[in-house]
Amino acid sequence: MTGRLTLICCGSTEANRFGAFARDEPLEPGAIEYARMVACGLARADRVWRSPALRAVETAGALGLDGEARQALRDQDFGQWAGRKLAEVEPGELATWMSDPDAAPHGGESLRDLRRRVSAFLEEALGMAGHTLAITHPPVIRAAVCEVLDAPPQGFWSVDVEPLGLTRFTSDGRRWALRLAALR
């Protein structure tokens, strides 16, 4: 059984523009317009899933998709850092969080917990034939790439995910592989 999974990053928000940790917020107007322009390039899907966050709901709508909300696709819980700019976080706490995958100085979800959640999602989707589109967030996509590549925890920080970026995976029913697509 073969399957395809395309992770679509939510469109940009005010938090993206100001270098802040995400909270549940709407898309910027320009992101909605851009999503409408790129929607025609999406491949047909057998199922559409999305994060329950407002920005994922709005991204799906702008792409002309509906989508079933899946908790596994929710953004990383940034706890007390949600909505705060990176520069507003105590540097020692930030360094701990970035160097220790079990640390959660913000009181939210550690990187290891995020990766476990994403790993369970990938395992669930592994047995599904056809094409799944999933609208989610940069930390979820980073964790998925690291999981599929069996990358060490520090690899998380080497994956850059753009708003409305696509990350594709293929499956033979036993494992996922990262797919780097050609221009068409």
How many independent structural domains does the chain possess?
1
C-alpha span between 132 and 127 (Å, rounded): 12
Asked, for residue 14, whether it belongs to a domain, the answer is yes
Q: Tell me, what CATH number does 106's domain have?
A: 3.40.50.1240
67-123 pLDDT, tens per residue? 999 999 999 999 999 999 999 999 999 999 999 999 999 999 999 999 999 999 999
Q: Which domain holds residue 72?
A: 3-179
Tokens of 121: 């999602």
Asked, for residue 125, whether it belongs to a domain, the answer is yes
**Would you say 56 and 13 are in contact if contact means Cβ atoms under 8 Å apart?**
no
30-78 pLDDT, tens per residue? 999 999 988 888 889 999 999 999 999 999 999 999 899 999 999 999 9
Asked, for residue 184, whether it belongs to a domain, the answer is no
Asked, for residue 137, whether it belongs to a domain, the answer is yes
Asked, for residue 46, whether it belongs to a domain, the answer is yes
